[in-house]
Structure 1
Amino acid sequence: MQASFQPTFTWSQERIFAAGAQNVILLIEWKGISSPEESRKRTRKVVAREIELRVWLEAHVTFNRCHGCNAEAGEGRSILLKLGKLYSKARKFIALEFTMAAKPAGIHEALWLQWQYKQPPVERIRELPLKKLSLEYTHHTDVLSERCCFHVEKHLELLKTEKLLEEVAVQRTKGNIQTEFEHLRRQADDLLLLAARSGDMELVKEAETVYKQLDAESQVWRRTATR
């Protein structure tokens, strides 16, 4: 039986310095697979429910944080990510941040990943093959000046923006959003700078959307504060 989605994994950098590295990002993307019939009808249905991703860490890898989801501590050196459901043709992203300890030059295993989900309509539990991810360690100092992969950087910033928008929505109900406003405005500035550097229009549109929301929220906040 065909899998319900296709995952893709992208490191923020293909090589790291042998002395170790902080803030190494793994972008995880998964896209719902649609049947030929769905493609013809242009319909979307749930292709996977209760998606879980378990990640095992090698001894030299330390998990720092995740963006776009919550992580639970698993057995041994593992974390469990509960990722909900996925529709056909839909695409989702999360980003995991790690610290890599020093290793000799060469290619070293870093993570092992296992997907599990329920496949409609019979809700049968399915697993994707165990996936191994490695990273290359090198003594070449030019890696210290290499930029983060743009695809990873872009979606990491979009995930950060989504999180900040959620925090603003929560704090709005408490009447205490000034600090979140400042964080969100700085994030919008970062999006715009990245868009200017890359020419990516999706980032431009996202930054414009955030600025408009900030302006609207500021007007409401000022009216409330003057009452």
Structure 2
Amino acid sequence: MIESIHPVFTWSQNRIFAGGNRKVILLVEWKGNIPAEHSRPSSYKVVAREIELRVWLEPHVTFKRSYGCEFEVGEGRSLLLKLGKIKTGQRKFIALEFNISTTIAGRYEALSLQWKYKKPTVERVQELPVKVLELEYTHHTQVLSETCCFHVEKHLELLKTAETIEEATTLQNEGQHSQAHEMLCRHADKLLLLAVRSGDPLLLKEAEMLYKQIGFEYQKRGKTATGN
């Protein structure tokens, strides 16, 4: 049976230093079915709805927060993520942040995950097999200098954009314009730096969008101050 969604999981780091608590990010990507050749984007249809992802945590893993989605805490150290719908050929991303506690070196199961969804015209729930993700713990200090996987870092910063804009808007509504301006500039600068390092056009486009918004807000405040 051809599944309507195709998930991909990527850790920010596959190896964790065993000598202390560490933060790790899991990037979750899911895709709709590949569109037929020569089909137009306007003809893409919903292929899965009421998508849910259940995540079970092992005892050495503590959930900290999510990016790009809301979650519900369930029984047995589990989380339930309600992820809406997806269309043909569409790609969606969320990120989950965890703390990993100290343990002895070795390879251990960290998370178990299962997707559930409904097809557009069918009420019966479809289930994907449970996926178990592992992490390697090591005492080699080399891992302390290893950087975050770029694919994860890129999409994490893109996911943070909407959150940053929302927080900045709240600050602006409270009259804290300088703080809002600084928050937007800081995030735009980070996106631009990543774009320059990597040559990634999507990061550059997102940075430019933020800089334009910052300029618009500055111009609007200037007109308000002068009464024009």
Instruction: Give the shorter-chain TM-score range.
Output: over 0.9
> Structure 1 residues 92, 140: closer, same or farther in 2, change over 3 A?
same
Alignment partner of 1:127 is 2:123:
no
Gaps of 5+ in 1: none
Any gaps of 5 or more consecutive residues in structure 2? none
Shift, 1:177, TM fit: 5.6
Q: Is 1:219 matched up with 2:226?
A: no
In 1: Cα distance, 2:58 partner to 2:26 partner: 15
Alignment partners' CA distance in 2, 1:66 and 1:142: 28
* In 1: Cα distance, 2:23 partner to 2:197 partner: 21
Q: Which amino acid aligns with 1:41?
A: S
Q: Residue 69 of structure 1 corresponds to which residue in structure 2?
A: 69
Distance (Å, rounded) in 2 between the aligned partners of 1:112 and 1:205: 35
Equivalent residue letter for 1:64: K
CA distance in 2, matches of 1:146, 1:21: 16
CA root-mean-square deviation: 1.7
**Corresponding residue of 2:39:** 41
3-state SS in 2 of match to 1:203: helix
Q: How does 1:5-44 map to 2 (within 5 A)?
A: 5-34=5-34, 36=36, 39-42=37-40, 43-44=43-44
The CA deviation string for residues 71-90 of structure 1, in whole angstroms up to 9 with x for no partner, is 21111201111111111111
Give the match for residue 103 of structure 2: 103
Q: TM-score when scaled to structure 1? A: 0.92
Q: How many residues align?
A: 224
Residue identity matched to 1:70: E
Deviation at 1:225, TM superposition (A): 3.8
Q: Which residue of 1 aligns with 2:55?
A: 55
- Preserved contact between residue 94 and residue 159 of structure 1 (Cα < 8 Å): yes
**Preserved CA contact (<8 Å) 1:164 1:180:** no
Alpha-carbon shift at residue 221 of structure 1 (Å): 2.4
AA partner of residue 165 (structure 1): I
Paired AA for residue 215 in structure 1: G
Cα deviation 1:13-40 (Å, max 9, x = unaligned) = 110101244320000000111353xx44
C-alpha separation between the residues in 2 aligned to 1:196 and 1:81? 34
1:185 shift after superposition: 1.1
Contact kept in structure 2, 1:22 and 1:99, CA below 8 Å: yes
Deviation at 1:123, TM superposition (A): 3.3
Change (3 A) 1:92 1:13: same
Could you say which residue in structure 1 is the equivalent of 2:115?
Answer: 115
Q: CA deviation at 1:166?
A: 3.2
> 2: distance between equivalents of 1:177 and 1:3?
48
Q: Counterpart amino acid of 1:9? A: F
Partner of 2:175: 176
Q: What is the rounded CA distance, in whole Å, between the counterparts of 1:124 and 1:182 in structure 2?
A: 49
